[in-house]
Amino acid sequence: MDAFNYVQDRYSKFLSELPVYERENIGTPKIFWWCWLQGLENAPPISKMCLKSLRRNYSDYQINVVTLKNMGDYVSFPEHIIEKFNAGKISPTHFSDLLRLELLINYGGVWADSCVLATGREKDYLQEPLFIFQSTWRNAPAHLGSSWFIVAEKGNPILKMTRDLLYKYWQDHDALGNGGFYFLLHCMFHLAADKYPDLWAKVPVFSNIPPHMLQMEFFKPYNPDRFEQIKRMSNFHKLSWKYNPAQLAPEKTAGTNYDYLMKFFA
């Protein structure tokens, strides 16, 4: 059984017993949440470049850098979550899923993964009660959208229910299962969105394909005209920091989009 079908069967009763959350209707604040658990000084250069892009393009936003050392200043977690994270049963990746939910539920704002590059000012969706880039092109039923960029008002009902489901899963399990459980957040988000169809229907639809175009052309030769085309596709771009040093050697990357961006945001 794949992950989505498993959690749908396993947690349907729990889901029906959860309270019906109401919107707080207080607007989405001008806050970016950016995280590198090990501390900004230990973040890879590409992630640091992405953070600089947020600060340059959104100087009127509060940009909070969250780490293991300071996350307690913002949020708290159930005891079983901290215990399993410290024991290595919850990976840093899946702990960050819980962290982004708690931050957005408690404060609202925009969660941007550490490898999200900003190249312009967005006018369409940063003030929405909820926004994610959607996966309308995928066949997998769990993938309503991406989790690397989430806009939310404080106390958003869909996010609160997603969090409740994830906490319940980790109360019941010490590990992820096989068959798509890496995307556990996406599975639980789908279940929560189904409980609030009216709220989900109001989320504006923007495909998550255009924000990936720059990553696909990251090491291609920089061409100003093509770069402007990519910028027009999206103001936010999902990159990756997972390259070995040999791939990023100056003799291999000179003149590429990567090279241009690292110098532009130096």
For the segment 120-155, what is each residue's pLDDT rounded down to a tens digit? 999 999 999 999 999 876 555 567 999 999 999 999
Helix segments in the chain, DSSP class H: 3-10, 12-17, 45-57, 79-86, 92-107, 157-172, 184-195, 197-201, 213-216, 224-233, 250-253, 257-264
pLDDT at position 27 is 93
Contacts 24+ apart (CB under 8 A), 100-103: 100/33, 100/35, 100/147, 100/150, 101/159, 101/162, 101/163, 101/166, 102/74, 102/75, 102/76, 102/77, 102/163, 103/33, 103/66, 103/74, 103/75
How deeply is 52 buried, as exposed, middle or buried, from its count of CB atoms within 10 A (0-12, 13-18, 19+)?
middle
Give the right CATH number for 3-210 from 3.90.550.20, 3.30.70.20, 3.40.50.720, 3.40.50.2300. Answer: 3.90.550.20
The pLDDT tens digits for 89-120 are 999 999 999 999 999 999 999 999 999 999 99
Encoding tokens for residue 197?
């169809």
Token pair 């052309």: residue: 217
- Angle of CA points 263, 40, 249, to nearest 5°: 40
How deeply is 17 buried, as exposed, middle or buried, from its count of CB atoms within 10 A (0-12, 13-18, 19+)?
exposed
The tally of CA atoms less than 13 A away on the side-chain side of residue 208 is 19
The pLDDT tens digits for 25-55 are 899 999 999 999 999 999 999 999 999 999 9
In sign, the C-alpha dihedral spanning 208, 236, 232, 256 is: negative
pLDDT at position 266 is 86
The pLDDT tens digits for 243-264 are 999 999 999 999 999 999 999 9
CATH 3.90.550.20 residue window(s) in the chain: 3-210
What percentage of the chain reaches a pLDDT higher than 90? 92
Contacts of 143 (CB under 8 A, 6+ apart): 135, 183, 186, 190
